Structure 1
Amino acid sequence: MPPIHAPLAPLSVYAARRARVFDLLGDRALVLPAAAHARRSRDTEYPYRPDSEVRWLCGSEESDTVVVLLGHADEERFVIFTRERDPEAELWAGPRLGVEGARELHGADAAYPIDELDERLPAMLDGCAAVGYRLAEGRRAEPEVRAALRHARERGARRGTGPRALFDPGEVLDDLRLIKDEWEIARMREAAALTVDAFREVAPMIRSGAGEWQVQGRLDGAFRAGGGEGPAYESIVGGGANACVLHYVRNDRAFEPGELVLIDAGASVAGYAADLTRTFPVDGRFTPEARAVYEVVDRARAAAVTAVRPGATMAAVHEAAVAVIVAGLRELGVLEEPAEGETTPWRRFYPHQTSHWLGLDVHDVGDYARDGQSRPLEPGMVLTVEPGLYFGEAGVDTAEGRADRFRGIGVRLEDDVLVTADGHEVLTAVMPTDPEAVAALVAGG
């Protein structure tokens, strides 16, 4: 029988990650509680989603766990606090690793029952200079971290020891997580491939009278049936004007002839997210107006993808998309010269950024700018490229009649892009964006 909740990556992968963390920690410490269970109502909980930082550091997927990294310690530097075995509780919720199981499975220097956290943690932190912990999130270990800080304020001045400050764990972890290792990249390729397969499966369902909910159900089911953990985020299936709502998730309307359907969804594989958007014509037929908008967005997507390479900035990727969007809006007759004092009139129709980081979180960690300057891209980063045009009521009504014929049209096209040593790799490239190919998928081709 395989180990319960076995880490998905080899232990050597997690050990290498922690070694880089310790290099940055110095004599500081990290205290990282696992995610808490989210309650849906009364005694019913949402499906558990493991904490990304804990998962990245050691592969643990159990709740009520606290991972501690002690940069100042000589021996017990990687410590896990977790639940003990409990046959009655395990009858209801499934097997637990237990203390010894967690130590062995994750390669910890030491492991202790979570009920001993209040007794042991303050002493462990006594010799560190600062503690990486996020207050006010309602997770475990906050009282113990506060106690360690209070003790250091009261008695540390005499001994010159004890943590005097808190810092955000992201100061150490975010940049490390931002550059994906080979194991992570392999998982993201798998998530992208699974997502593309699911999109191809649902495309022929986009017919007049079919429901957004039906497409969502098949899509989410395909993510799970294909071996993924399910959707990486709540799937968006927006027909007609619903495609103009950026985070539309009601998915409760039937498609009508002549509309476009925007699908924004991604599978999760080993915790790693794909994030793909395609926009399909109902019944496989674009109206002239819909196709004109679609082609502008596709040109913007291609320009932004081309801009992805080492040394380029996130801002440059966005600017490449915006330049095509602005030119396209003028070709469509929607955009005139901006009014006095108006510098970004295109934002009425393209209100969001072109990219975000992608990884264990669909909007993954990592700063987009440093010292006021857009961040240069580096090999191993994974980002989305997702320009769009949305002719919702508010934007159309400000265009003084120039956009009326596009009312209710929303188009977004999104790919997942890995920065490589000599350029980029589009992880979702096999899912076409050419309008004829997209229409053919709906028609069953």
Structure 2
Amino acid sequence: MAAIRLCVLLVWATITAATAQSRVSPDKPSDTLDKEFHRQRREQLRKQLPARSVAVFFAAPVRNRSNDVDHYYHQDPDFYYLTGYTEPNAVLIVYAEPQTINGKQVKELLFVQPNNAQAELWNGKRLGVEGSAATLGITTQPNTAFKSYLDKADLQQVYIKPLPTDVRDDERDNADLYSLVEQFRAKNVKADEKALEIVMGQMREEKTPEEINLLRKAVTISALGQIEVMKAMQPNMSELEVQGLHEFVHNKYGAHHVGYPSIVGAGNNGCVLHYIESGKPSISNNELVLMDVGAEYKGYTADVTRTIPANGKFSPEQKAIYELVLKAQDAGIEQCKVGNDFSAPGQAAQEVIAEGLVKLGIIKNKSEARRYFPHGTSHYIGLDVHDAGTYGPFKANSVITVEPGIYIPDGSPCDKKWWGIGIRIEDDILITDKGWENLSKLAPRTVADIEKAMAQPSALDDFKLPEIK
């Protein structure tokens, strides 16, 4: 049913493409990071390296799913940030000062997997050495040459991002990541494995205009998914079907992946913070559906959550909890100002929820609130859904989430009328010198706006499919 339902969405997509495209089409700058962006990031890193030092980054390993099937490859975010390279089995070296190696002066080197016709027949075209140099604008060598470069520079300090530990050895390839890591270790290089994490966190925390543009698009795509699901939602749909609707909309607008496993939890499942099974075959009429879903667009991921009633109308109890969470979120968002402590949104939201739960009679004193609101509200987003950053006072051009929630699972020590209510509202907030901007405001947030959206027609109305057993 879900598959055909998604096909029918093509009708909706054709009808609404013009309107939606105006929302997701980027203004300048372009929504593709170019080699100049990555070059500037390397220069920024170089300026922070001490004299006679080098920074070494390894590409992410290929991770196995089962037997001879691997997971879709996802580059290490720092590696991508500095190079734009999206293939495995690579190493980046950034020198603090230019070095003369093999008669040539270099300040950085990228070692990549060379072209291989047989491998490319199975797994797709590689950039190769020449292609990488031309496309990425960096001095490039085949990764088979990595070993010969390790000890040719005049260095006092080596900095390295912690080496990946889950790499597999491909005995057919003497330049797979396993071999590159072993070559590095064989040189007995004493490397600082902590400094780069701090430096890269500082760099990635403050987003450039190009990055903000990509995040806007990822967030807008996610919000469009939330809107369409609100319109299409009906009791008796499955959690997996709801997840599929979100991800179809993402794909429609070029977001090939989700930034994290989609969370779609109905009823008591919504009280499980990281519920990713989507295993409920039929959502009941009176249940809430918590949808924490983020599109990944060209490496940058959104993180947007909405909670809706399956039947289109909040019950009195659901409405009371929802409006309390929304009030807490509004209080948290107001704290998203340059200079405020990173914990400020969470503290503001926590205070509102604690007071509200006491007034509703769900808890007796505010100290019990953590039972039903057990997490913080905020993290950075960017190349990771929990992106790198200092987690110190807010800086301009950082993007964070604000996501309070209340979760009252079955069996909780309160009146049964509250059981099974799990509500989270999450928005992506850009912090600027002029204040905050809610990037995900397109997705309805209030009870009235959600119920209004759910009453609107969908391309799926009156569409029936035969049941199968």
Q: TM-score, normalised by structure 2?
A: 0.84
Equivalent residue number for residue 158 of structure 1: none
Whether 1:243 and 2:270 are equivalent positions in the alignment is yes
Q: Which amino acid aligns with 1:354?
A: T
Q: 1 CA distance for matches of 2:196 and 2:415? A: 47
**Does the 8 Å CA contact 1:281/1:442 hold for their aligned counterparts?**
no
The DSSP-based 3-state class of the residue aligned with 1:127 is coil
Give 1:381's match in structure 2, choosing from 391, 398, 405. Answer: 398
Tell me how far 1:107 sits from its aligned partner.
Answer: 1.2
Change (3 A) 1:403 1:18: farther
Tell me how far 1:85 sits from its aligned partner.
Answer: 0.9
Equivalent residue number for residue 41 of structure 1: 66
**Does the 8 Å CA contact 1:417/1:426 hold for their aligned counterparts?**
yes
The DSSP-based 3-state class of the residue aligned with 2:48 is helix
Whether 1:322 and 2:368 are equivalent positions in the alignment is no
Q: 1 CA distance for matches of 2:79 and 2:130? A: 18
Give 2:240's match in structure 1, choosing from 185, 188, 213. Answer: 213
Q: Which amino acid aligns with 2:339?
A: G
TM alignment of 1:123-202, pairs within 5 A: 123-124=152-153, 127-135=155-163, 137-139=165-167, 140=177, 141-150=180-189, 165-202=192-229
Tell me how far 1:188 sits from its aligned partner.
Answer: 0.4
Equivalent residue number for residue 88 of structure 1: 118
Q: Per-residue displacement from partner, 1:318-353 (whole Å, max 9, x unpaired)?
A: 111011101110121112136xxxxx4111000000
Give 1:51's match in structure 2, choosing from 76, 82, 96. Answer: 76
Equivalent residue number for residue 360 of structure 1: 383
Q: 1 CA distance for matches of 2:203 and 2:415? A: 45
Equivalent residue number for residue 20 of structure 1: 44
Q: Which amino acid aligns with 1:415?
A: D
Give 2:289's match in structure 1, choosing from 249, 261, 264. Answer: 261
Bigger drift between 410-419 and 32-41 goes to: 32-41
The DSSP-based 3-state class of the residue aligned with 2:224 is helix
Equivalent residue number for residue 391 of structure 1: 408
Q: 1 CA distance for matches of 2:201 and 2:430? A: 17
Q: 2 CA distance for matches of 1:324 and 1:130? A: 48
**Does the 8 Å CA contact 1:275/1:416 hold for their aligned counterparts?**
yes
The DSSP-based 3-state class of the residue aligned with 1:149 is coil
Q: 1 CA distance for matches of 2:390 and 2:218? A: 24
The DSSP-based 3-state class of the residue aligned with 2:230 is helix
Change (3 A) 1:60 1:135: closer
**Does the 8 Å CA contact 1:31/1:132 hold for their aligned counterparts?**
yes
Count residues with an aligned counterpart: 409
Give 2:435's match in structure 1, choosing from 423, 426, 429. Answer: 423
Tell me how far 1:137 sits from its aligned partner.
Answer: 2.4
Whether 1:304 and 2:332 are equivalent positions in the alignment is yes
The DSSP-based 3-state class of the residue aligned with 1:284 is coil
Whether 1:350 and 2:373 are equivalent positions in the alignment is yes
Q: Which amino acid aligns with 1:353?
A: G
Change (3 A) 1:273 1:164: closer
Q: 1 CA distance for matches of 2:363 and 2:191? A: 56
**Does the 8 Å CA contact 1:26/1:72 hold for their aligned counterparts?**
no
Tell me how far 1:271 sits from its aligned partner.
Answer: 0.4
Tell me how far 1:274 sits from its aligned partner.
Answer: 0.4
Q: Per-residue displacement from partner, 1:88-145 (whole Å, max 9, x unpaired)?
A: 111111111111111221111x211112222222334x52412223135245343233
Stretches of structure 1 that go unaligned for 5 or more consecutive residues are 1-6, 151-162, 339-343, 369-374
Tell me how far 1:165 sits from its aligned partner.
Answer: 4.5
**Does the 8 Å CA contact 1:233/1:266 hold for their aligned counterparts?**
yes
Identity among equivalent pairs (%): 32
Q: Per-residue displacement from partner, 1:369-394 (whole Å, max 9, x unpaired)?
A: xxxxxx21010111000000000146
Q: 2 CA distance for matches of 1:261 and 1:410? A: 8
**Does the 8 Å CA contact 1:385/1:414 hold for their aligned counterparts?**
yes
Give 1:76's match in structure 2, choosing from 86, 90, 106. Answer: 106
Tell me how far 1:412 sits from its aligned partner.
Answer: 0.2
Stretches of structure 2 that go unaligned for 5 or more consecutive residues are 1-30, 100-104, 168-176, 458-469
Q: TM-score, normalised by structure 1?
A: 0.88
The DSSP-based 3-state class of the residue aligned with 1:122 is coil
The DSSP-based 3-state class of the residue aligned with 1:96 is coil
Equivalent residue number for residue 3 of structure 1: none
Segments of 4+ in structure 1 off by > 4 A?
A: 163-166
Tell me how far 1:176 sits from its aligned partner.
Answer: 0.2
Change (3 A) 1:167 1:147: farther
Change (3 A) 1:240 1:164: closer
Equivalent residue number for residue 227 of structure 1: 254
Q: Which amino acid aligns with 2:182?
A: P
The DSSP-based 3-state class of the residue aligned with 1:363 is coil
Whether 1:107 and 2:146 are equivalent positions in the alignment is no
Q: 1 CA distance for matches of 2:63 and 2:166? A: 11
Q: 2 CA distance for matches of 1:436 and 1:58? A: 46
Tell me how far 1:278 sits from its aligned partner.
Answer: 0.3
Give 1:436's match in structure 2, choosing from 431, 448, 458. Answer: 448
Q: Which amino acid aligns with 1:319?
A: Q
Q: 1 CA distance for matches of 2:375 and 2:448? A: 27
Tell me how far 1:204 sits from its aligned partner.
Answer: 2.5
Q: 1 CA distance for matches of 2:68 and 2:361? A: 56
Equivalent residue number for residue 299 of structure 2: 271
**Does the 8 Å CA contact 1:70/1:128 hold for their aligned counterparts?**
no
Tell me how far 1:10 sits from its aligned partner.
Answer: 2.3
Q: 2 CA distance for matches of 1:432 and 1:314? A: 26
Equivalent residue number for residue 8 of structure 2: none
Tell me how far 1:164 sits from its aligned partner.
Answer: 6.3
Q: 2 CA distance for matches of 1:274 and 1:133? A: 25
